[in-house]
Each structure stands twice: as C-alpha cells, then as structure tokens.
Amino acid sequence: MGDEAVKSPSQAHTGGCQCGAVRFSVTRLGRPSICHCRMCQKAFGGFFGPLVTAHNAQWTRGVPKWFQSSNAARRAFCGDCGTPLAYETRFGLELAIGAFDDPEVAAPVIQVNPADKLSFFDGLTALPLRSEAPDEWRDFLAGIHSNQHPDHDTDDWPPRGAQS
C-alpha cells in the first residue's frame, strides 16, 4: 500500500479536540491505519491507535502539548481536555482519525504492528449488540447536555454566554 491520498487534495478536512481548544485543518491525507503497538494503545487509552498521514496539516486554533513517547516519536494532545491528536516522527505527522470532524474521510486501509495486537481484538465484531437500553439508562442519556465542541469549525468556543 502506498501513501496515496484518501480524498481530493483540494478539500479541507478539519478536526480537533473534545473541548475545542485545539483545532486543525489538512487538505492532503495519506494512508489511514490502525496501529496495534503498545505505545498507541496507551496514548489513546484504547485497543489500538487510529492514525492517518497528514502531509500539510496546520493547527488552526490553539496548539497541542507534546509528549516525547520514545527517542523516535512524539505525541500531541490537548493540554485542556487530554484528547489525543497526533503522532510525529522524522517521517512526518499523523493525525488521530477520531479527532476529525468527519472520521469517515480516513477509513483505515491497513493494520500495523500486529505483534502487539491484543488477543481478543479480532473477535470484537462478534460480540452481541444491545439494541434496547433499560429505562433507567434511557432516562440518564436523555438528561445529558454535551459540552463537547461540535464537529465543525466555530469562530469562538465555548459559545458566548455558555455555562461551564
């Protein structure tokens, strides 16, 4: 698999952290992947790290904090809410797919570092789906008001007059 663009090079793809303090834009995406290495598992707090090469990304609001996760790589995250945002080596920058406003623009095409893949990973899609939630859970969900930044650029965040 090469490092071919995922979408039209002229289309801007935007994204950012959960709280909206850090935002990015990129027009040239490369190969989207999921990385099973232990560093990605810990950095994302998940079973893998979903990343896409970003050839010309720019931070459009705020700047991330960086953690030097190894002698060869550093990782970006929001210093306010902790959202994982990027991974960078001498080969370039990769952005966290889940941080995009539309993560569908970077559907993974390859898995890397399979030696660290968790033993139960391949069976996850076979787990039963719960389609009916108990009334107590539905009531809980109905009462939630999200403070998460919306999936699009905003001039200001949080909105003026919003409660924190």
In this predicted model, what pLDDT tens digit does every residue of 22-32 receive, in sequence order?
Answer: 999 999 999 99
Identify whether 73 is part of a domain.
Answer: yes
Q: How confident is the model at residue 161 (pLDDT cuts 50, 70, 90)?
A: low
Q: What is the pLDDT of residue 10?
A: 65
Identify whether 115 is part of a domain.
Answer: yes
- HSE of 37 in the Cβ direction (CA atoms, 13 Å)? 12
Identify whether 44 is part of a domain.
Answer: yes
Identify whether 42 is part of a domain.
Answer: yes
Q: How confident is the model at residue 143 (pLDDT cuts 50, 70, 90)?
A: confident
Q: What is the pLDDT of residue 24?
A: 98
Structural domains of the chain, count: 1
Identify whether 6 is part of a domain.
Answer: no
CATH number at residue 66: 2.170.150.70
pTM of the model as a whole = 0.85
Identify whether 86 is part of a domain.
Answer: yes
What's the CA gap between 49 and 37, in Å, rounded? 8
Domain span including residue 54: 13-119
Of 5 and 152, more confident: 152
